[in-house]
Structure 1
Amino acid sequence: MGEFELIEKYFGRAPRRAAVGVGDDCALLDVEPGMRLAVSSDLLVEGRHFLSTVAPERLGHKALAVNLSDLAACGAEPLAFTLAISMPRVDESFLAGFSRGLFALAERHGIELVGGDTTAGPLSICITVFGQVPPEQALLRSGARPGHDLWVSGRLGDARLALEVFRGTATLPGSAFEEVRRSMECPEPRVPLGIALRGLATSAIDLSDGLAGDLGHVMRLSGVGATVDYDAIPRSTVLAMQSAELQRECLLAGGDDYELLFTAPPSRRDAVLAAAAEAQVAVTCIGGIDAEDELRFVDGQGRPMDVAARGFDHFA
C-alpha cells in the first residue's frame, strides 16, 4: 500500500466545515465573522508520550484528545485538525484501530481532519488543531488576580499512577489498574467546560505537565502567587490508598491529567458550579490566588506543608 492509498483508505473524508480538506496542498477554512482562530500543536513520540503496548484505538483517541484539551483551556470551539504521522511500516491493523479511535473522538467534538502528512520513520504523531473563540472571551494564562479562587476539573494523579505500575514501582489489582490505565491512555478533553467558562474564568490552563508546573505557568504570566489546599485536590479512591509520598508525586508532578486548572472571582462560585453542571464535569475549588509571587501548599486545616514539586520537563 502506498502513501496516498493509505491516506485515502484510513483518513480520507468529505469536508464539512472546511472549504477544501484532505487531498490538496492546503486546507482552506472559513472562520465566522467576529471570531478568532485558535491553533495548537502537540507531538507524541513512542517511548516518550506513549508505550508500545497501548491499543491503537486508544492511541488515536489520545493523540487528538491532548490537542482538544488545549482548545478547551482557551475556551475555543473545535473546527478542524491536521495529522502528521511517521511509521516504521504500513500496518493496516494498527491504522484501522488508530483511525477508529481518532475519528470517534473527532465526531463527538465536531472537529474534522483537513490534511497532514505521512512518512516512514519511528512511530510519532503530530496533530495541529484549529478552533474559534470570540476575542473578548478567550481564556488565557495571564488573567489570574489576587483573591481569585483556584479550581480544577475532574480528578488528578491517576495517569501517573498507571505509569508507575508500568515502571514496576507500584502494584495494583487488575480492576484498579485498568481504571487508572484508562486515565493515562484515554483522557477526556474538557471542551464543553472550557466553552461554558467563557466570561467566568479569568485564566485557564490544561494540566499536561503536573499541577505544580502548570500552575507555575499561570503564576508567572499573571504575576501572582497561589496557595493550594493539598487535601482538597480531587483524587480517586485507588490513588488515595497509595503511600503519602506516591500520592504527592502523582498529584503535583504527575502530568497527563488533561484536566482544566482555572481561576475565577469568589463572587462567581455559583456560576462556575452551574457551568460545570452544564458541561457535566465535576469541579473543585483547591485554593486561591495571592499577591506574593510564591506557590504555597497547606493541609485541610490551613497548616503550611513542606512540599517541593515541579512539573514535567522533557529536557530537565
Structure 2
Amino acid sequence: MPDPTRLEDLISALRAAPAWQRKQEIGVLRDDLIPHQPLVEGRPVQLGDDTAAIETADGYLLLAAEVIYPPLVQSEPYLAGRSAILTNVNDIYAMGGYPLALVNVILAENTEAATTIMRGLRDGCARYEVAMVGGHLTANSQFASVAACILGRAKKLLSSFNARPGDALLHVTNLRGQFHPRFQFWDCSAHLAGPELRRDLALLPTLAEAGWCDAGRDISMAGLLGSLLMMLELSGVGAAVDLDCIPRPMEAEDRFLDWLLAFPSYGFVLAVRPEHVATVQQTFANHDITCAVIGQVTPGSQVILRQKQAEAVLWDFSEEPFIGFSQKN
C-alpha cells in the first residue's frame, strides 16, 4: 500500500486524486477555446482565471459560474445551495473584487427538493450580502443539480496570470474548523458571524488595491497544490514548495493527504514580492488568519516539492499541461 508520508507516494496519490483528474478535463476544451480570443466591447478577456475579468472605465466587472459536486447535491441539498454561494463569492474575492449579484440554476426531482436547495441559496446570499436576482428551475428532473453565476466588481485585480519568479508563495486559511464527515471539505467559517466572514474576505481586495500581491487564486476542489498548479501554469512559471512549511490543523496531523486535497471554505494561495510578505502576513494575522510562506516562484516549467531531505518533481508543464491554459498558449 502506498505510504503518503513518502514524497514519491504522496505525489502519486495527488496525481491520481479524482479532483485533479476533473481539473485536467478542462483541457478537453482547450483546442476549441484557445484559438478564440474573447472580446468584450473590443477589450480582450483572458481565459482560465477564477473569474472572467472584463475591463471597464473604472476597473473590472467579474463574471464566474460554479456547479456543485452532484453527490453533495443528492445527499445534502441544503448545504449544496449554500455551497453554490460560497464557491462563487470566494472566486470574486480571490480576484480582488466584491460580489454584486447572482443567478441560479436548479434541477430537482420535485418541488420539495428544489425548495430545500433554494433555502440554502437564500441563506448563503444573506450570509455574504449578495443579491439573488433570478435563475432557472426544473422541478421534474431525473437528477439533482445546482449551479450559480455571479457578477462582481474590482478596482484592481489579483490574477492567476501575474505570478513572477522570486515571488514568495503564501498559503492563507483559517485553521479553526473541521472536516466534513463524507466530503473533502474543510469548514473553517461556520464559527464566524456574517460580518466577520465578509471582513475576512475583504482582505483580498485590500491587498489588490494596495498593490501588495502579484497574483492569487482561490483554493478549490483541487486543494492547495492543485490550485497552486493552476496559478503557476497560467503565469508560465514553476515553483519550489516546502511541504514542511504548510500549516495544518490538529485534525490533519494524521491526514496530510486529505489536508492537501481539502476544499476550504476560506483558503487562498498568493504570490507576493519579498518586500511585501511581512505586510501581507500581518494583514491576515490581525484577524487570526494563518498566512504562511510555503515556497517560491521559480523560472521554468517544473513544480518541485521538498519534504525533509527529499525532493521530487510534482509537475512539469513543458511535458504535461494541467488545465491547458497559460500565457504561452
Are positions 1:65 and 2:86 aligned together? Answer: yes
Are positions 1:52 and 2:71 aligned together? Answer: no
Question: Which residue of 127, 135, 154 maps to 1:133?
Answer: 154
Q: How far apart, in 2, do the equivalents of 1:215 and 1:181 lie?
A: 17
Specify the alignment match of 1:38 in structure 2.
62
Q: Report if the CA contact (8 A) 2:174-2:266 is conserved.
A: no
RMSD: 3.4
User: What SS does the aligned partner of 1:36 have?
Assistant: strand
Specify the alignment match of 1:305 in structure 2.
311
User: What SS does the aligned partner of 2:132 have?
Assistant: strand
Residue type at the aligned position of 1:273: Q
Question: Which residue of 87, 90, 94 maps to 2:108?
Answer: 87
Are positions 1:294 and 2:302 aligned together? Answer: yes
Matches within 5 A, 1:104-115: 104-115=123-134
1:75, distance to aligned residue in structure 2 (A): 0.8
Task: For structure 2, list consecutive stretches of 5 or more residues without a partner in the other structure.
Answer: 1-54, 192-196, 324-329
Are positions 1:183 and 2:207 aligned together? Answer: no
User: What SS does the aligned partner of 1:88 have?
Assistant: coil
Aligned length: 253
Closer/same/farther in 2, CA of residues 184 and 63 from structure 1, 3 Å limit: farther
Specify the alignment match of 1:259 in structure 2.
267
User: What SS does the aligned partner of 1:241 have?
Assistant: coil
Q: State the TM-score, normalizing by the size of structure 2.
A: 0.67
Q: Report if the CA contact (8 A) 2:241-2:296 is conserved.
A: yes
Are positions 1:271 and 2:292 aligned together? Answer: no
Bigger Rg over Cα: 1
Task: For structure 1, list consecutive stretches of 5 or more residues without a partner in the other structure.
Answer: 1-30, 168-179
Question: Which residue of 203, 206, 222 maps to 2:215?
Answer: 203
Question: Which residue of 182, 191, 201 maps to 1:166?
Answer: 182
Residue type at the aligned position of 1:221: L
Which has a greater percent of strand?
2
Per-residue CA deviations over 1:258-291 (Å, capped at 9, x if unaligned) read: 5111110110022202332456532221111111
User: What SS does the aligned partner of 2:295 have?
Assistant: strand
User: What SS does the aligned partner of 2:64 have?
Assistant: strand
Q: State the TM-score, normalizing by the size of structure 1.
A: 0.69
Residue type at the aligned position of 2:234: L
1:297, distance to aligned residue in structure 2 (A): 1.2
